[in-house]
Amino acid sequence: MSAAPPRVLVLHGPNLNLLGQREPGIYGSQTLAELDASLRDLAASLGAEVTIHQSNHEGQLIDWIHGSVGAFDGIVINPGGYTHTSVAIHDALRSVPVPAIEVHLSNLYRRESLRHTSVTGVACVGVVMGLGAASYHLALRHLVSLHGVSLHQAQAAAPRNRPS
């Protein structure tokens, strides 16, 4: 009997539904549908299952994070503008035993100073940014590679500084 395939939840936050139209100089010309198709193709090639959601609403993102327990082996999350403000998403990510990786299409450190702090990233095992769609692809590949590794081992493998 073979093991179940890794299951990864991908969450796109606010305004990502406008990819391809919104500031293409920053976010590129790829649409959300095209990004999602590339993630589904990559997941299939890795023998993984991917479920993808987008919401402009903080509570909906939190509900999906809470619902990940027992249903998913990892979360790829782009919290959009909530990255810099949402203690609630941070707390949701910390409250579930599912490793998460925060992703961003753009490099936050090459943007306005208000984007230089990630409230949500500290609750994740890693952050990948500035590589366009490849940020998502790298996060998905890493989470698939962790399949079968405990959350404790995943967190230990990704050292980070946490505020006390």
What is 17-157's CATH superfamily? Dehydroquinase, class II (3.40.50.9100)
Local confidence band at 158 (pLDDT 50, 70, 90 cut-offs)? low
Catalytic residue among 12, 104, 137, 142: 104
Residues 6+ apart with CB under 8 A from 136: 10, 35, 38, 39, 76, 78, 103, 128
The verdict on whether 27 is a catalytic residue reads yes
The verdict on whether 116 is a catalytic residue reads no
Predicted confidence at residue 56, as pLDDT, reads 97
What token pair was written down for 64? 């999906």
| Domain parsing of the chain, residue ranges | 17-157
Taking the CA atoms of 116, 118, 122 and 126 in sequence, report the sign of the dihedral they define: negative
> Could you read off the pLDDT of 13-31 as tens digits, one per residue?
999 999 888 776 776 778 9
Predicted confidence at residue 163, as pLDDT, reads 45
Local confidence band at 5 (pLDDT 50, 70, 90 cut-offs)? very high
Catalytic residue among 12, 27, 82, 137: 27
